[in-house]
Amino acid sequence: MAFPTCDDELQQLQDDAPGWRIWRSAQGTLWVATRTVDDDVEPTVIAESAARLRESLRTPQRRIARPLTADQLAKVVRELAR
């Protein structure tokens, strides 16, 4: 019986999760996925195993907040100065 290697698991995750860039940490202890599109989904997911990452990517959390653009920040400052 052949067991899947990390490379096999990584390839399967990449195939199963379009819209994500997936890799292993330098130490090989964490699995990381970064969103490749800018949307309302959390931009980075980190897990301790391929199985947990796969589970998290099935129903990712929503992005908590977005930073303000310079124009948005200027508008807020103008409104507060009134």
Length of the chain in terms of residues written? 82
Q: pTM for this structure?
A: 0.70
The predicted-structure confidence for 31-79, as pLDDT tens digits, reads as follows 999 999 888 888 999 999 999 999 999 998 888 877 778 888 888 898 8
The count of other CB atoms within 10 Å of the CB of residue 17 is: 20
Q: Radius of gyration over alpha carbons of the chain, in Å?
A: 18
Domain that holds residue 73: 6-81
Tokens of 47: 């897990």
* Separation CA 8–CA 25 (nearest Å): 16
Give burial (CB, 10 Å; 0-12/13-18/19+) of 22. Answer: buried
Tokens of 9: 């698991």
The total number of structural domains in the chain stands at 1
